[in-house]
Chain A
């Protein structure tokens, strides 16, 4: 299978070829690769793809580091739901 046919991030349509290209261009940590390729920035927030990217990076560059910080919300939430609750909690 060709690298451009291997999907890594389904939300943002990022392929293995995109990841390898980013590494080649000098983006050698997961945070920079995430921002350069968009991998892991879609609705699922990298649940499936980021651990795979981490593995590719380790294999290609010997990188070791943490996965990007998980931000809320855990799953997509409509604005109206956020607006209606929580305002008084500090």
Chain B
């Protein structure tokens, strides 16, 4: 079979891969993006679309701030309605320890212009929340919520408009180094000078084929969605146990994750055990939801590294990765895709991404 040739091949049709491919196409590089199923079918489409700049790690905050300024202009740039709204986040803290950690994070993030502050619960106009056990509340008003699939489609249309190729339902089954790279998929074959792997939990197997071992562990999360309700919940609420948001269609989405539950990259089963946890904490937080119906439950993955930061950068000659994302993969997508694309073009990891370099795991 003859192989189509591109300068760049991006593996993974989530926001990380799409944004990198978009930025490459934008500077006139020939690029093909290969997605095993449909765009956004992995972790991107399984999250809630929250976008914040308040994080605990300084280098993370810097990239998040860059990403936020890109998000604000992204609908316009992609000429697609990303359904962004300025929902804001509320962090509910229950212990003095959580409070102290948050105080430090806010102090650090403020140096980069991040807006977040402790507020008195009585200032909140949220009578539906049970705050009786809450020790402190942090408001992060600049945070946004987007509809993840709109973002995915916006990038897809952008890449296509710029002459890039996006292939869906095409799984990369083999990848070899041969001058450049030879990629064999379930539907064809491609050649590329440079490869970027951003395939979530699917990256682990691909990297193994290339002899690259990164300390990546899969963590399962599960979410439930209720029937649609009249809009009542503006912010995205984060507690140490669950995150809750009301979608643009009025559904209440809530998720829960447990680090200690064994899982595999293939395991996307929805379990009664996790549904029960989400339900319990959701009712505790918003008692009025007790009789509201859950209509669907689904599972998704975090891919975690030992230091909980993603691995972004080169792992071999002309071979780049953006893997190991937890909750930040979506919100950091625009900036990381851009910085990664620029790094791959230059052949050197840009300084903004240096602290995420996969080489930190090598001794």
Contacts and interface: CB of A to CB of B under 8 A. Distances in A.
B325 interface: no
B39 interface: yes
Interface string A46-90: 000000000000000000010000011100111110110111111
A71 B222 CA distance: 12
| Most chain B CB within a 10 A radius of its CB, from A31, A43, A82, A88 | A82
A51 B188 CA distance: 29
A87 B295 contact: no
A86 B276 contact: yes
Q: Helix, strand, loop or mixed for chain B's interface?
A: mixed
Interface string B252-282: 0000000001000000001111011111101
Contact of A86 (B249, B261, B272, B290): B272
Contacts of B279: 79-80, 82-83
A46 B276 CA distance: 24
Nearest to B41: A31
**Chain A interface residue bracket vs B:** 20 to 34
B292 A31 contact: no
A59 B263 CA distance: 39
A56 to B, nearest CB: 17
A82 to B, nearest CB: 4
Contacts of A77: 293-294
Interface of A is mostly: loop
A90 to B, nearest CB: 5
A43 B45 contact: no
Contacts, number: 90
A78 B291 contact: yes
A79 B226 contact: yes
A28 to B, nearest CB: 9
Contact of A85 (B249, B271, B276, B293): B276
Contact of B45 (A35, A38, A87): A35
A43 B293 contact: yes
B138 to A, nearest CB: 26
A45 interface: yes
A87 to B, nearest CB: 4
A38 B37 CA distance: 19
Given A42-B295, A83-B276, A86-B273, 16 more contacts: A29-B168, A32-B39, A45-B296, A71-B296, A72-B297, A76-B293, A77-B294, A79-B226, A79-B279, A79-B283, A79-B289, A80-B283, A82-B275, A85-B276, A86-B276, A88-B273
5 contacts: A29-B169, A32-B38, A79-B279, A79-B292, A90-B273
Interface of A: 29, 31-32, 35-36, 38, 41-43, 45, 65, 71-73, 76-80, 82-83, 85-90
